[in-house]
Amino acid sequence: MSGLEKTSNNFFVRNQTLIAVTALAGVSAVGAYYYYAQQQRGLSGDSSDATGSSDGSSKKKKKSKKNKKKSAGESGEDASNEGAAASSSEKLYPIGEDGLPNIGDEIVEKLSDKEKESWANALKEDGNTEFKAKKYNEAIAYYTAALKIKVDPVFYSNRSACYAALDDHEKVIEDTTAAINIKRDYTKCLLRRATSYEKLEKYGEAMFDLTAVTIDGGFNNKSVESILERVLKKKSINIVEKMMDGSSFDLPSASTIGSFFGAFTPDTNPHGISEESTGADKFLFDAIAQINLNTPEGYDNADSLINQAVEAYDITNLDPVSETAAKASIALEYASAFKFLRNDPTAATIEIEKAIALKPRARTYVYRALVNADKASFTQALADFEEAKRLEPNSADAYYQLGQLHYMSNELQKSEENFKKATELNPENVYAYVQLACIAYKLGNHEDAEAKFKSCKSKFPTSPEVPNYYGEILTDKGQLDLACKQFDTASRLQAALPVFSVGALPLINKAYALSKGGERSPEAEQLLIEACQLDPKSEFARTTLAQIKLQNEDVDEAIKLFEESAQLARTFEEKVQATSFAEATKMQKKIRADPYLSEKINELLRSQFA
């Protein structure tokens, strides 16, 4: 969860992207797109990642408890045998001075097949007894002796259990690999090897084994699926941590920035700064003008102009009661906003605190509230809103953003009150009206929502936001044809505007609506390709296109798109999500390249459609 999402007005889009992932995955071939089904389940239930992982670990706990109970039961039956292996006097095979089997090559050569069978079995049984007595090194000696007489995957498996108990994962992998080489669908060994791979942080290898188990089990093993999900997540987190390590923070797509600034009362010439101003004031004036352009280049320019302004104001030498201090505060406020948009909350906090220390205005506190909400410091965020309203009781920005905060925490009543107030104070903020219509819809007042969208449309006839968000609601209601019409209108209005506004959102939304029916849609693909061109920084466009590419078996293209989305995504969680899609797709490719598993999948598919 992050504050920016709360303020970016992509409220339904976000939700919808999650749904899009689900829907597109649903139509893919069984099995082959197994991972998407996985992700889907995670997404559709609850978007919170935290619950997913804690769920996984509690399952694990339960499982290990069950295992313990089982082995306790077994050793109960064998209680009389405890420690018997070493003390029993009558052994088929020779014992060395250490009390362990001592079987030389010459002896083995002389054994008949029948003797080999019974010696090996006896050794295995004695190994099991030692194992139950937790004498793992002794057990290993028995299984090793058994293997000397007969190469049996069970003995490798048994010995690997000892190594697992001793936490010797390299050895576990060696023995389970030997067993699996003999018996490809040896579930116990595949699972054990996966666990060791996971312990050694070889997540890709672990995923391969776990997938093999799920394929062998006909995709019917929920407990393996949850392990797989956990390992996939670990691997993705590893990749994202490396990706973010030392990397700079990029600005998000212009439509995200646009909806962020678009919800604020526009600044033009605070404190009388103008085209004629010089020095720091001129930098600030130009930066604001560039922001008001609402274009990708404008935002890039504004970003660097703001930094120049901050530098030029030289805040260390400012008189805090001067008008210059107030202007410097505004520059710092914008600097903070850009850092915030780059998802660099630490830097954003530093800048906003400097702004507050100088000569803050209401909006300075509103920005700090957003930074605080982003850090989940909601009490502080609420205090900031109070401070903003104290400084400026009619701050439309304070009411609007407070409305957003309540909306995101699902306090719809409070949210509605604040948005209403925001529309009174700033009747030009289209987002506040759209939000009110969405609240009506969320509260189940569908007719009221329709009416609100209608009046919105007559009030803002050229705003692509209105049909775009109305279309999202129609999509949610399943009225896909009507929704597509709204998205077409939104695209047309967007194309006619000099500003970026909703950008590629209507195209993405329409593609989603088109593929919601479950059929492959070449038009959806075309729309998404256009969306990627129109808004090259939109990770939504890429993720959605990637899934269509997957349906068309264009795996390499899908991987590339997922990886690009991971780069573009703003938050850590979103990056992990996109990365896990990429990694899952790579795994799918690896599975497909394996003749044994590939054939298994084909069998499954044939039986599904038989």
Ligand X SMILES: *[C@@H]1O[C@H](CO)[C@@H](O)[C@H](O)[C@H]1NC(C)=O
Interface with ligand X by CB under 6 A: which residues? Answer: 128, 131, 154, 157-158, 161, 187, 191, 217, 221, 223-224
- Please give the DSSP secondary-structure letter assigned to residue 101: B
Residue 111 zone, left/alpha/beta (φ > 0; ψ -120 to 50; rest):
beta
Q: Which is nearer to ligand X, 103 or 224 (CB)?
A: 224
* DSSP characters over 338-376: HHHHTT-HHHHHHHHHHHHHH---HHHHHHHHHHHHHTT
Q: Which of 436, 442, 444 is nearest to 419 (CA)?
A: 436
For 95, the 3-state DSSP assignment is strand
Q: How far is the CB of 59 from ligand X (least distance, A)?
A: 9
Q: How far is 532 from 93, CA to CA, in rounded Å?
A: 72
Q: How far is the CB of 222 from ligand X (least distance, A)?
A: 8
Q: Which is nearer to ligand X, 138 or 374 (CB)?
A: 138
Q: How far is 378 from 286, CA to CA, in rounded Å?
A: 34
The helix (H) or strand (E) run that includes residue 174 is helix 169-182
Q: How far is the CB of 43 from ligand X (least distance, A)?
A: 23
Q: How far is 80 from 70, CA to CA, in rounded Å?
A: 18
Q: How far is the CB of 157 from ligand X (least distance, A)?
A: 6
For residue 221, the Cα-to-chain-centroid distance in whole angstroms is 23
Q: How far is 262 from 258, CA to CA, in rounded Å?
A: 5
Q: Which is nearer to ligand X, 122 or 438 (CB)?
A: 122
Q: Which is nearer to ligand X, 154 or 569 (CB)?
A: 154
Q: Which is nearer to ligand X, 116 or 375 (CB)?
A: 116
Q: How far is the CB of 226 from ligand X (least distance, A)?
A: 8
Q: Which is nearer to ligand X, 45 or 217 (CB)?
A: 217
* DSSP characters over 41-83: HHHHH-S-HHHHHHHHHHHHHHHHHHHHHHHHHHHHHTGGGTT
Q: Which is nearer to ligand X, 161 or 358 (CB)?
A: 161
Q: How far is the CB of 111 from ligand X (least distance, A)?
A: 22
Q: How far is the CB of 127 from ligand X (least distance, A)?
A: 7
Q: Which is nearer to ligand X, 191 or 239 (CB)?
A: 191
**Cα–Cα–Cα angle for 344, 350, 351, rounded to 5 degrees:** 90
Q: How far is 115 from 183, CA to CA, in rounded Å?
A: 24
Q: Is residue 139 within 8 Å of 131, Cβ to Cβ?
A: yes
Q: How far is the CB of 563 from ligand X (least distance, A)?
A: 30
